[in-house]
Amino acid sequence: MGPELLGRLVDQHAAALVLYARQWCPTPEDVVQEALLKLAALPAAPPHVVPWLYAVVRHAALDAARAARRRRRHEARAAEQAPAWFAPADGRGLDAAAAADALTGLPPEEREVVVAHVWGGLTFEQIGEVIGASASTAYRRYAAGLAALRTTLGVVCPSHPCPRN
């Protein structure tokens, strides 16, 4: 398959393929890119290249959707088993959207460590190895991230000891 044909297919069909994939999966651009890479790797173009692309995109989008559902189920089970990290100040539960926004609002270095420790279950030594820093640096980023989350969400620390900045 020549680059000219591939470029023409991208120009003429990529947007429609993304729209087509979007109905099944949360990452349609990735699915279309993978389909185009598969096409480029073929020794010769299929006889009906556009329908072939749609079929490949459809199968890849369905696979991506299944993987996303599995990941969400796994994350939900892990979250149910994890100990509570925040006690709401007014006795009500945390708003999940607000918590997600607060987590997104953390500096990337702090967010990475909080996610790796709380949801990934990594020790600070392991996190330090991953990020190329010491365990104490990983802990400081974790403590700063939790403090920022508590402030943003307006929650108090539960009865167990809290990390300090």
- What range does the domain containing 90 cover? 83-165
Higher pLDDT, residue 81 or 42: 42
Among 81, 110, 130, residue at a domain's last position: 81
Model-level pTM? Answer: 0.48
- 88 and 28 share a domain? no
Q: Which CATH number covers residue 140?
A: 1.10.10.10
In this prediction, residues 21-49 reach a mean pLDDT of 92
What gap in Å lies between CA 94 and CA 146, rounded to an integer?
14
- 87 and 165 share a domain? yes
What gap in Å lies between CA 48 and CA 65, rounded to an integer?
26
- What 3 state SS string does 23-81 have? CCCCCHHHHHHHHHHHHHHCCCCCCCHHHHHHHHHHHHHHHHHHHHHHHHHHHHHHHHH
Higher pLDDT, residue 64 or 159: 64
Identify the band that residue 165 occupies on the pLDDT scale cut at 50, 70 and 90: very low
Hey, how many other C-beta atoms are within 10 angstroms of the C-beta on 127? 23
pLDDT per residue over 66-88, tens digit each? 998 998 888 888 877 776 665 55
- 58 and 102 share a domain? no
